[in-house]
A and B are shown apart, each in its own frame.
Chain A
């Protein structure tokens, strides 16, 4: 069996060759260099650097805050997508366009903006201070920043599926005597679930590696609000290459696992599409 089906079109060898060469130079070889570097430290060196208490704490903060933020986005992202697809209200198109702001706004800008909003003397910080809640310079601040970053992932994955959903199914369920709540939970939710989970996983994956928007608001206290990407930067500044590389390899492994999960979820979403 041949590895390529015949086609009359020109340029296959040239474009594929360039694609693979460019991909290798920019992405694959540097990533392989990282893996090689980590293996150069030896298994013991890698483990003692990757499992140091401060590193474990940083991973707990990164993954924990990313998980909470992705859960917040799961609920509110679905709500925003629902409102934008199903309801008509003045400014709907504007709101729809605005959802992509976190994609377009540089993370450092988002970071200083959120930090100044939630700082004790900021707009929101001043309101929350009398209640004894401090958001900025702690884990809550990280969650706020990661929620900001992740929102469009959920909205943009759920929106098209919700748009394509056939309203007739709801009508049939209603004719059969279902209440609105059971129509939502037993008819609508199951068919948008794969997309919803994909959006959740995308938001989570992005949040785990996020750096720019977090460091300004986090306070960066080791063990409390120090995220894993920041620890890589700190190790690098101390010329601790083994430390930085070990954390980076762990993060890379986490990205690969998440990427695999997202691919499987997307395949599941598409299987609904075809049906």
Chain B
């Protein structure tokens, strides 16, 4: 980079002022990697080592045990409902925010991001206050025999809340960067709204969309605090995988707790791998994502 700025006639710069010495570099790299090893790698390793500490047989038994299976099913179900809902919302929000100019847009973006800055416990609490037995709609729901809190709807609501901004916040900057000229051209050529979306917009945003869905899904399956407040912790019924981990851990059933945790850690690793693959493969298309 410096070669085209300083021509050959110029005196070479003292290297010490534009770059660190080789030993400083090595030291900095070593300290950074040691920090990452200590805080990131060690916790990940200990999950798998503890999970297999009593052999692979114990690990599989802990996972196929009925309560664990019920927890896995519930987690998958909650994610399967909440992720598509947030995906649809994210696309709608990104369309009106990135393709149109209107007043109050900044406020709208801030409000969409709001769930990220709220403690997960508070996120769960607000639904208990709405739909719990002592909540605003509690008596009415009881009279009509509808259960939201301590049941699947509450878990889904809490999951939707904590993963609310994921897709929208990936898509908005991406679509803003891309601009709407191609969509406008499609309008002029007589395309319908749905045609524009499926054939012009979607191909442009599909990788950003996938990126947002990946992150949304990882959080949806792993959410603990918000779901813990609304779930009621009924074993085999309203326990998601992270809550099942907690119950096993508090019963000092460590190996089983780490076995279920290992499954969740595996999900995290798959998410990271897919996310990195997207970033490396489509770095140019996703450049807008890295900047916000």
Query: Do A229 and B119 touch across chains, with their CB atoms under 8 A apart?
Result: yes
- At the interface, is chain B mostly helix, strand, loop or mixed? helix
**Chain A, 217-252, CB within 8 A of any chain B CB:** 228-230, 232-233, 236, 239, 241, 244-245, 248, 251-252
**Chain A, 45-87, CB within 8 A of any chain B CB:** 76, 79-80, 82-84, 87
Residue A174 is within 8 A (CB to CB) of chain B in the complex:
yes
A10-B193, A104-B271, A107-B224 given as contacts; is B33 within 8 A of A114 (CB)? no
CB distance from A40 to the nearest CB of B (A): 10
Query: Do B35 and A108 touch across chains, with their CB atoms under 8 A apart?
Result: no
CA distance A226 to B222 in the complex (A): 23
Mask: chain B, 99-112; 1 = CB below 8 Å from A; 0 = not: 11111100010111
Residue B9 is within 8 A (CB to CB) of chain A in the complex:
no
CA distance A251 to B125 in the complex (A): 12
Query: Do B224 and A212 touch across chains, with their CB atoms under 8 A apart?
Result: yes
Q: Which of A108, A122, A244 contacts B224 (CB 8 A)?
A: A108
- At the interface, is chain A mostly helix, strand, loop or mixed? helix
Residue B144 is within 8 A (CB to CB) of chain A in the complex:
no
Mask: chain B, 252-284; 1 = CB below 8 Å from A; 0 = not: 001001100100110111011101100110000
Closest to B118 in A: A255
Mask: chain B, 103-143; 1 = CB below 8 Å from A; 0 = not: 11000101111110111111001111110001110000000
Query: Do B187 and A123 touch across chains, with their CB atoms under 8 A apart?
Result: no
Query: Do A258 and B126 touch across chains, with their CB atoms under 8 A apart?
Result: no
**Which positions in A face B, CB cutoff 8 Å?**
3-5, 7-12, 14-16, 18-20, 22-23, 26-31, 33-34, 37, 76, 79-80, 82-84, 87, 89, 93, 95-110, 112-114, 116-117, 122-124, 144, 147-148, 151, 159-160, 167-168, 170-171, 173-175, 178-180, 183, 205, 208-212, 216, 228-230, 232-233, 236, 239, 241, 244-245, 248, 251-252, 255-256, 258-259, 262-263
